[in-house]
Structure 1
Amino acid sequence: MRVKGAFQIGLLGGLGVLLAIAIAGAIGQISSVLIYAFAAIFLALGIDPIVQFLTRHRFPRWLAVLTVIIVILGAFTGIVLIVVPAIVDQFSALIAGIIAAFQAGLLDDMLDWAQATFPGLDWQAMIDDTLQALQDPDTYASLPPQLGGIVTSIIGAVGATAATLFGGFIIFVLMLYFMGSLPSLKSAMYRLVPASQRPTFIRIAEEIMAAIGKFVTGQFLLGLCNGVLSFIMLSIVGSELAAVYAFLAFLASTIPLVGTITASVTISLLVLLLDGPQTALPVAIYYAVYMQFEAYVLSPQIMNRAVKVPGVVVVLAALTGGTLLGILGALVAIPVAAAIQLILKEVVIPRQDAL
Structure 2
Amino acid sequence: MLAGRMPEPAAPVPSPLASLTAGRQIARNVLVVLAVVGVLYLVWLLRTPLGWLVLATFLAVAMSGPVNLLSRFMKRGLAIATAYLGLMLVPVLLALIVIPPFVNQGTELVEDFPGYARDIEQFVSENETLQDLDDKYDVVAKLQEEAEKLPARVGDAATLLSDLGLGLVNSGFALFNILILSIFLVSSGPAWAARVVQMQPEHRRDRLDRTLRRMADAVGNYIGGALLQATVAAVLTYVVLRILGIPFAAPLAIIVGAFDLIPLIGATIGAVVVALVTLFIDFPTATIVWVIWSVIYQQLENNVIQPQIQKRAVDIHPFVVIMAVLCGSTLFGVLGALLAIPVAASMQIALLEYLQFRRESRLLAALAPLPLPEEPEAPQPPRGTLANA
Q: Give the TM bin, normalised by the shorter chain.
A: 0.7 to 0.9
Deviation at 1:166, TM superposition (A): 5.0
AA partner of residue 85 (structure 2): I
Q: Does structure 2 retain, via aligned residues, the 8 Å contact 1:227–1:249?
A: yes
Go from structure 1 to structure 2 and tell me whether the alpha carbon gap of 1:74 and 1:117 turns closer, same or farther (over 3 Å shift): same
| Higher relative contact order, structure no. (Cα contacts within 8 Å, ≥ 6 residues apart) | 1
- In structure 2, C-alpha distance between the alignment counterparts of 1:166 and 1:229, rounded to whole Å: 36
1:303 to 300, 310, 319: 310
Given the alignment of the two structures, is residue 251 of structure 1 paired with residue 258 of structure 2, yes or no? yes
In the other structure, the counterpart of 2:276 is 269
Q: Does structure 1 retain, via aligned residues, the 8 Å contact 2:98–2:252?
A: no
What secondary structure, in the 3-state scheme, does the structure 2 residue paired with 1:240 have? Answer: coil
Q: Does structure 2 retain, via aligned residues, the 8 Å contact 1:211–1:338?
A: yes
1:319 to 308, 316, 326: 326
In the other structure, the counterpart of 2:98 is 83
In the other structure, the counterpart of 1:130 is none
In the other structure, the counterpart of 1:46 is 62
- RMSD of the TM alignment (CA)? 3.7
Given the alignment of the two structures, is residue 220 of structure 1 paired with residue 238 of structure 2, yes or no? no
In the other structure, the counterpart of 1:69 is 84
In the other structure, the counterpart of 1:348 is 355
TM-score normalised over the length of structure 2: 0.68
In the other structure, the counterpart of 1:139 is none
AA partner of residue 78 (structure 2): L
- In structure 2, C-alpha distance between the alignment counterparts of 1:101 and 1:248, rounded to whole Å: 26
List runs of 5+ in structure 1 lacking aligned partners: 107-112, 124-152
Go from structure 1 to structure 2 and tell me whether the alpha carbon gap of 1:30 and 1:97 turns closer, same or farther (over 3 Å shift): farther
- In structure 1, C-alpha distance between the alignment counterparts of 2:161 and 2:104, rounded to whole Å: 22
AA partner of residue 104 (structure 2): D
AA partner of residue 90 (structure 2): A
Deviations 1:71-114 (A, max 9, x none): 22333222111111122213333443469999xxx9xxxxxx99
TM-score normalised over the length of structure 1: 0.74
User: Taking every aligned residue pair, what percent have the same amino acid on both sides?
Assistant: 27
Deviation at 1:338, TM superposition (A): 2.2
1:33 to 34, 44, 49: 49
1:240 to 247, 253, 259: 247
1:197 to 185, 188, 204: 204
Aligned positions, number? 314
In the other structure, the counterpart of 2:153 is none
Given the alignment of the two structures, is residue 21 of structure 1 paired with residue 40 of structure 2, yes or no? no
- In structure 2, C-alpha distance between the alignment counterparts of 1:7 and 1:226, rounded to whole Å: 66
Go from structure 1 to structure 2 and tell me whether the alpha carbon gap of 1:157 and 1:117 turns closer, same or farther (over 3 Å shift): farther
In the other structure, the counterpart of 1:176 is 183
**Stretch moving more, 22-31 or 153-162:** 153-162
Higher Cα Rg, which structure: 2
Go from structure 1 to structure 2 and tell me whether the alpha carbon gap of 1:290 and 1:165 turns closer, same or farther (over 3 Å shift): farther
Deviation at 1:158, TM superposition (A): 8.0
In the other structure, the counterpart of 2:300 is 293
- In structure 1, C-alpha distance between the alignment counterparts of 2:28 and 2:303, rounded to whole Å: 58
Q: Does structure 2 retain, via aligned residues, the 8 Å contact 1:46–1:215?
A: no
Go from structure 1 to structure 2 and tell me whether the alpha carbon gap of 1:177 and 1:251 turns closer, same or farther (over 3 Å shift): farther
**Stretch moving more, 68-77 or 196-205:** 68-77
In the other structure, the counterpart of 1:339 is 346
- In structure 2, C-alpha distance between the alignment counterparts of 1:337 and 1:221, rounded to whole Å: 20
Paired residues for 1:128-167 under 5 Å: 166-167=173-174
Deviation at 1:168, TM superposition (A): 4.0
Q: Does structure 2 retain, via aligned residues, the 8 Å contact 1:321–1:333?
A: yes
Deviation at 1:37, TM superposition (A): 1.3
2:194 to 181, 187, 194: 187
List runs of 5+ in structure 2 lacking aligned partners: 1-13, 122-132, 143-159, 363-389
Q: Does structure 2 retain, via aligned residues, the 8 Å contact 1:45–1:213?
A: yes
